[in-house]
Amino acid sequence: MKAFLVVGNLKMNLLTEAEGERYLGELKKAAYGKHLSGVQGVIAPPFIHLYRFAHLPTHFHLGAQDMHWEKSGAATGSISSSMLKHAGVEYVLLGHSERRSTLGETDALVRAKVDAALRENLVPIVCLGETREERERDTTTTVIARQLEATFAGLSLLQAEKVIVAYEPRWAISTSGTGLIPSTTDIFQVKVFIRKWFTEHFDAKLAERVRVLYGGSVNSIHLGSLSWEAEMDGVLVGKESLFPRELVKMMEMAERHIQSLA
């Protein structure tokens, strides 16, 4: 069975070396002595902290928040898949809604990055989800189908299985300011739709295997209703991931849930 994933997206925070060190220290303290057999953590710090975060506590893996689609060359201000690999990165977030909405990242660009990540043996975590207007117009599944098509068309079964999908309704992300979160049923319906899409475009086995995370205002209070109760395979956490003890608490809660099923 694949581990339940708790992915922390630290975004553009931890502004100084000292803040980076403090975060790491707190994470190590919080994670010390924890036995988590069914849960895995991923921390995606800002690029400038990647080497500092190379030695994370047990149960944690290093992630990055984005990357360029080329391996090297004339791309001022960018980080390549190869650079991430050398820094010890295993997972990379791609197509985060903040990049799609403020930097104009298109589905095609995200797809080029997915291909580049797979070539470098990095695990892409592709963020997708509808805006509030799209939900109100009842076009959520149309938007998700379009994003899935752009991400997965032409991939082999083997490649597709390596990609992780993060369903993040944009209106539920804490910085959207709506204060809204989806119900378990809302999330479950999207999960069912995603599973059906994979069954139709690949096969039923892959549909079961592809990991689908939920992201958007996740905290320890809503963790269960936003993830396992909706049959999600993990969570992508923004704001709350800035508090290492909260992150580890969520991992322990997920572990208890998994153990309760055993």
Tokens of 19: 């803040």
Among 124, 215, 234, 244, binds ligand PEP (CB under 6 A): 215
List the catalytic residues: 96, 168
**Rounded Cα distance, 245 and 260, in Å:** 22
| Cβ 236 to ligand PEP shortest distance, Å | 5
* φ, ψ dihedrals at 230, nearest 5°: -100, 15
Residue showing the smallest CB distance to ligand PEP in the complex: 238
Among 64, 94, 226, 236, binds ligand PEP (CB under 6 A): 236
Listed ranges 81-89, 108-116, 146-154, 167-175: which one lies at the site for ligand PEP (CB under 6 A):
167-175
**Rounded Cα distance, 202 and 160, in Å:** 9
Residue 237 as a binder of ligand PEP (CB under 6 A): the answer is yes
Residue 178 as a binder of ligand PEP (CB under 6 A): the answer is no
| Cβ 178 to ligand PEP shortest distance, Å | 10
| Rg value, the chain, Cα | 17
Contact 93, 125 (CB under 8 A): yes
- Nearest in space to 142 (alpha carbons), one of 100, 193, 218, 106: 193
**Rounded Cα distance, 237 and 8, in Å:** 5
Residue 7 as a binder of ligand PEP (CB under 6 A): the answer is no
Residue 196 as a binder of ligand PEP (CB under 6 A): the answer is no
Pick between residue 57 and residue 234 the one whose CB is nearest to ligand PEP.
Answer: 234
Listed ranges 37-45, 135-143, 231-239, 253-261: which one lies at the site for ligand PEP (CB under 6 A):
231-239
Listed ranges 64-72, 101-109, 200-208, 232-240: which one lies at the site for ligand PEP (CB under 6 A):
232-240
List, as one string, the DSSP characters of 171-185.
Answer: GGSGGG-------HH
Q: What is the distance in angstroms between the CA of the first residue and the CA of the last residue of the chain?
A: 12
Site residues, ligand PEP (CB under 6 A): 9, 168, 173-174, 215-218, 236-239
